[in-house]
Amino acid sequence: MSNHPFDVSVAGQGLYDVTPQVKAAVAESGIADGLATVFIRHTSASLLIQENADPAVQADLQNWLSRLVPEHDAIYTHTEEGPDDMPAHIKGALTAVQVAVPVMQGKLALGVWQGVYLWEHRHSARTRSLIVNVLG
């Protein structure tokens, strides 16, 4: 087993490709066959495996989720950290804080058009902490 923490700086809402960092963690682990689990240590951001070829997919996902979970909804009572905070927590609850990818022959077994993404749900720039755990 091998653990690899890393940080990602984000500029605000959107999807950020972390596939290179996950691949590096797998290579550094020296594990040939097993499972890589990526975990994000936050409640207002999430992870997903998504298409890495057409940026329109990422924009459409962002627009769809923002429409599904709008800001400034009168139902929210947790508002001290700004109008994007509670919607970010809801978006995080609807998505995932971890993803798992098989490792085969020392490499991630992602499909041709797949990448691992950090999905930032807050507006402001910040640093997010992730951990890659490789078990094999």
Domains belonging to the chain, first-starting first, are 2-135 (2.60.120.460)
What pTM value is reported for the model? 0.95
What is the C-alpha end-to-end distance of the chain, expressed in Å?
6
C-alpha distances (whole Å) from 118 to each of 13, 25, 47, 96, 125 are 10, 16, 5, 10, 14
One-letter identity of residue 3: N
Give me the pLDDT at residue 23, please.
Answer: 98
Give me the pLDDT at residue 39, please.
Answer: 98
Q: Under a CB-based contact definition with an 8 Å cutoff, are residues 125 and 10 in contact?
A: yes
Give me the pLDDT at residue 19, please.
Answer: 98
Average pLDDT of 108-128?
98
Instruction: Give the pLDDT band of residue 82 (cuts 50, 70, 90).
Output: very high
One-letter identity of residue 85: D
Average pLDDT of 74-99?
96
Give me the pLDDT at residue 107, please.
Answer: 97
